[in-house]
Amino acid sequence: MKNIAEESAEATPVVLPKSGFEQPAPPSRSADNIAKLETDLATEKEERCEERFIWIAVVFVLVCVPISLVVNFAIFVILFLLGLILLVGIAKRLGVDWAVQGVGWLMHWVSTKANFGGNKDE
């Protein structure tokens, strides 16, 4: 294992004789490792946000099933659409783009099938 003095020696700037300007040293193995770890961390965070959203959506569906058995269909559809609006907000907050698009499409589909106050011809 390298000590701190050896690692700092690798990152010292190099002076080129022609230009006279200091140029940074070529990236070392530790810089490559840091870049790889940062990429892995970003991927892990994104996967955790997606998993969190999936669990929230599953709980939403599990809560909607008993509610659909108790309340009137029109009230259920209204509550379901409000829940979908909430899911869109949660998906945007967590940065899950595919969920924002999917839930938006589902909300549009439910609202067109329910046809709240619109013409039957459209």
Query: What pLDDT, on a 0 to 100 scale, did the predictor assign at position 21?
Result: 67
Q: Which two tokens stand for residue 19?
A: 């230009």
Angle, alpha carbons 68-72-75 (nearest 5°): 85
List pLDDT tens digits, range 20-67: 666 666 667 888 889 899 999 999 999 999 999 999 999 999 998 898
- pTM, entire model: 0.62
**Residue type present at position 51:** E
How far is residue 81's CA from residue 107's CA, in Å, rounded to a whole number? 6
**Predicted local distance difference test score (pLDDT) of residue 1:** 46
AA letter at 1: M
pLDDT at 106 over 80: yes
pLDDT at 38: 92
User: Residues 83, 64: contact at Cβ < 8 Å?
Assistant: yes
